[in-house]
Structure 1
Amino acid sequence: MVMQRITFERPTDHYDERLYSIDEKICALLKERKELSNGNPGFPHDDAIYNWAKQYGLYPDYINSLFSSMMDEEEFKPRVEPTKFLKHIPVFKTYEHKDIMYTITFIRQYSNASVVYLYSDWDSTNEVFNEDKPHNFFQLSINDTYDCWSEGGGGTDGHMSHHFVVSPALPDNLSGISLRFKDRSMPFMKDQAVLEFEIRLD
């Protein structure tokens, strides 16, 4: 089942209209910041956060939260809810890495989107492996034509499933389509070994 995003509700009906021009400038600066960084701004250093907090009378954690939310802009992009189920397209493609088998068995087709299911399986009887195994949260990308986002997943011992929505819907003929998965288990961590792999559907 695809999760629905919770609709945003205004925290208060109050607004000081004297702030309108300032808030408009903030939006303009956000746009300028995004364009200047080509959508990859990174995160200000701790010294900068501390200096700005001291200079402008703000809490460092408050500034950190603002810049953190700026890094998550894609999470707020309007998303399509799959409607009118059409069929399943069999795939049966696998990728193995460090004793974990990643599998795509089928793609679920809807009139306005596709749903991709990535399964990961490993030996649940290996206690040492289970203790060291990271909890993976994958990101899916295809190309500029398609928007992809995770809808979560779940699992049991030795098995996990990850669900992704793709919009617009993938073609029934999947020849030439490649699914690129990137592990997002620890976002924004420095010097981390990131798992990336590609599954070709042709």
Structure 2
Amino acid sequence: MGDSNQDRYDGSTESIDREICALIQKRKQLSNEQTASPTPEKLNEWAHTYELEKEMLNALFSTIESEGDFKPIVKPKGYLGTVPLSLFHEENEIIYSLTAIQSYKNASVLFFQVASNPQKQNLQEPMRTFELTIKGTTSYVTQLTGGSGGDAMFNHRFVISPAIKEDVTISVRERFGEGECVTPFEWKVDKQALIMNK
């Protein structure tokens, strides 16, 4: 069996590698841990300036944005109830909606649906992925934990931790294949619409 890249690591770049980690942490702090990718124009510019491949840079920033995907999946515990939601956004004959939220003691679970005209759009060509971000005074981790659907409708399940207990802005970004995120939109939601009334 051949040596892995880790086996060949001799420490000659350790100081630079540490600096890369420190810069990623600083980036998170400056952005208030909200995801945001450089524009394609910026990626082109930096790829040319630093003699790097644009797709590699795009993959790098996409990975940085997706830190929550690498964290252990939070298992919701202490079910409190389910609240129906009626939050919609329509664009290019596609309807995006938040249909319900389940409240738990340690997390919230949001159900997100995408529906299109099956005669005009196939939601699987190209394959679409969605990033959901919760903005408030608390730092939230959002994890996609399930999904299903077909050509004209998709349903997604997101676990949010900790549980939402304040007014928040829920942002959605859509990605086509490996390309940059497009179709950003958001909902400003009052906590009373998200929390079970006792």
Displacement of 1:22 in angstroms is 3.9
Whether the 8 Å CA contact 2:141–2:162 is kept in 1: the answer is: no
**Counterpart in the other structure of 2:120:** 128
Task: Please give the TM-score of this superposition, normalised by the length of structure 2.
Answer: 0.63
Whether the 8 Å CA contact 1:177–1:200 is kept in 2: the answer is: yes
1:46 alignment partner AA: N
Whether the 8 Å CA contact 2:47–2:57 is kept in 1: the answer is: no
Counterpart pick for 2:154 among 160, 175, 181: 160
3-state SS of 1:17 partner: coil
**Counterpart in the other structure of 2:44:** 46
1:111 alignment partner AA: K
Q: Deviations over 1:32-54 (max 9, x none)?
A: 6x38x94467264535423433x
**Counterpart in the other structure of 1:183:** 173
Distance in structure 1 (CA, Å) of the matches to 2:167 and 2:95: 21
Q: How does 1:1-202 map to 2 (within 5 A)?
A: 12-30=6-24, 34=27, 38-39=30-31, 42=38, 44-46=42-44, 48-53=46-51, 60-61=52-53, 65-66=56-57, 68-70=59-61, 72-77=63-68, 78-98=71-91, 99-124=93-118, 127-130=119-122, 135=128, 137-151=130-144, 153-171=147-165, 177-186=167-176, 188=180, 194-198=183-187, 200=189, 202=193
Structure 1 gaps of 5+ residues are: 1-9, 54-59
Displacement of 1:16 in angstroms is 0.9
1:167 alignment partner AA: S
Aligned positions, number: 175
Distance in structure 1 (CA, Å) of the matches to 2:189 and 2:49: 48
2:189 alignment partner AA: R
Q: Deviations over 1:152-172 (max 9, x none)?
A: 52212432112212110124x
Distance in structure 1 (CA, Å) of the matches to 2:132 and 2:84: 19
Distance in structure 2 (CA, Å) of the matches to 1:104 and 1:41: 24
Task: Please give the TM-score of this superposition, normalised by the length of structure 1.
Answer: 0.62
Q: Deviations over 1:9-46 (max 9, x none)?
A: x96345313443343344445556x38x9446726453
**Counterpart in the other structure of 1:56:** none
Q: Percent identity, aligned pairs only? A: 21
Computing the radius of gyration over CA atoms, which structure comes out larger, 1 or 2? Answer: 1
Structure 2 gaps of 5+ residues are: 194-198
Q: CA RMSD in A?
A: 3.8
